[in-house]
């Protein structure tokens, strides 16, 4: 921690204290009932974790990308689901920080920092996942704003969010579809019921829909019809945070594997003394160190204002694959016990897979990286 700033050390310590004092009770509720704990945001806010990226005038800590990555990594070491809540809040509010006007920021950001309101980020649709330009949600211009109609799916916090940052078509006559999209601040949307997924349970993932919902013109975020471009520019930050979540998950899996290997005995010896187990642990540690290095590099480049799209994609790609492999190896070390819900590695294994899918699938990351390499060549 010698190279971290005082602010970075402070938020990392806050995440550690949250994990030690609070995380277990929330994990139990989220896992057993697939229910988002309504008190979770306020507790996270007490530790300064809800608005850590917000400037101080909006109730935040003004942290940089590196500080946020450290906090998300630490939270994910114990609960990837809780880390994902923070990550998804950052996705929508990050666009507000980048593009919203002062009135919008003052209205929407402080309640989030205090844990009083939750935001969702409305991008994905049934026919628009990796191909975001294919989205069909329409915001039809009216005399005083827009009539919003359409639906979004797989929205983290969608079942509980008080408002959403939604990408919709505002110019149906645009020559190219992606040139006619805008970001809108939406309240009063229809919330779907929480959906059942393999992992990251209790994060209130649901569809949200709009049936000619009236959205005032002053709720446009940034420049009208520039929403697609704004979203594309924001993806690098999200990928760094997914990488940080993946590193934390992998570290949590290794921690559990080491603890179990030291305790479990077979053939009269600790299984930690067997070379086969040691090789698995060695590979896990090496993957984690490499993933952490890629993640921190991308975060530092972002904080320095330097180009980092390729580095963000590399971090997300490598760290997410390391997370799934480390979770699998940790489960293997546990043997049959690892397949039992009583043990944390079973949950970490289920949580790991989504890191290869959201914020751009790993196939998309490879395209981004390859294009960058070819352009340089």
Q: Give yes or no: 224 in active site.
A: no
For the stretch 60-66, contacts whose Cβ atoms lie closer than 8 Å and that sit 24 or more positions apart, written own/partner, are 60/109, 60/113, 61/7, 61/11, 62/7, 63/7, 63/8, 63/11, 64/7, 64/8, 64/299, 64/303, 65/237, 65/240, 65/299, 65/302, 65/303, 66/4, 66/8, 66/296, 66/299, 66/300, 66/303
The dihedral over CA atoms of 342, 347, 348, 349, expressed in degrees to the nearest 10, equals: 110
Q: Are 138 and 190 in contact (CB under 8 A)?
A: no
* C-alpha–C-alpha distance, residues 169 and 125, integer Å: 13
Q: Answer whether 264's CB lies under 8 Å from 330's CB.
A: no
List the one residue out of 354, 313, 271, 126 whose CA is nearest residue 137: 126
Tally of CB atoms within 10 A around 29: 16
CB 261 within 8 A of CB 299: no
Active-site residue (options: 73, 125, 256, 359): 359
Q: How many Cβ atoms from other residues are within 10 Å of residue 262's Cβ?
A: 12
Backbone angles phi, psi at 173, to 5 degrees: -100, 5
For residue 201, give the nearest of 34, 13, 10, 12 by alpha carbon: 34
The vertex-250 CA angle with 249 and 253, nearest 5°, equals: 90
Catalytically active residues are 359
């Amino acid at each position: 921690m010698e190279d971290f700033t005082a602010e970075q050390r402070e938020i990392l310590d806050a995440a550690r204290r949250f994990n030690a004092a609070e995380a277990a009770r929330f994990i139990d509720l989220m896992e057993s009932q697939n229910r988002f704990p309504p008190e979770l945001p306020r507790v996270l806010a007490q530790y300064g974790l809800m608005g850590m990226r917000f400037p101080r005038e909006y109730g935040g800590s003004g942290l940089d990308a590196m500080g946020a990555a450290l906090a998300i990594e630490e939270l994910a070491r114990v609960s990837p689901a809780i880390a994902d809540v923070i990550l998804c809040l950052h996705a929508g509010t990050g666009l507000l920080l980048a593009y919203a006007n002062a009135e919008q920021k003052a209205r929407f950001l402080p309640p989030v920092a205090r844990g009083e309101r939750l935001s969702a980020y409305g991008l994905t649709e049934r026919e628009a996942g990796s191909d975001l330009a294919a989205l069909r949600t329409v915001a039809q211009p009216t005399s005083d704003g827009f009539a919003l109609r359409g639906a979004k799916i797989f929205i983290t916090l969608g079942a509980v969010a008080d408002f959403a940052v939604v990408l919709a078509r505002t110019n149906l006559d645009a020559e190219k579809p992606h040139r006619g999209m805008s970001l809108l601040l939406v309240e009063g949307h229809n919330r779907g019921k929480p959906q059942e997924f393999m992992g990251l349970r209790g994060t209130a993932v649901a569809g949200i829909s709009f049936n000619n919902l009236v959205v005032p013109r002053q709720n446009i975020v940034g420049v009208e019809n520039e929403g697609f471009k704004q979203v594309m520019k924001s993806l690098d930050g999200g990928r760094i945070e997914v990488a940080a979540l993946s590193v934390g998950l992998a570290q949590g899996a290794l921690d559990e594997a080491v603890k179990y290997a030291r305790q479990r005995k077979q053939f009269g010896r600790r299984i930690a003394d067997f070379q086969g187990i040691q090789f698995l642990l060695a590979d896990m540690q090496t993957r984690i160190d490499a993933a952490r290095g890629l993640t921190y590099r991308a975060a530092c480049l972002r904080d320095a204002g330097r180009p980092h799209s390729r580095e963000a994609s590399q971090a997300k790609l490598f760290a997410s694959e390391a997370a799934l492999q480390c979770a699998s190896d940790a489960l293997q070390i546990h043997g049959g016990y690892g397949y039992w819900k009583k043990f944390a590695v079973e949950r970490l294994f289920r949580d790991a897979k989504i890191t290869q899918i959201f914020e751009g699938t790993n196939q998309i990351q490879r395209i981004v990286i390859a294009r960058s390499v070819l352009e340089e060549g």
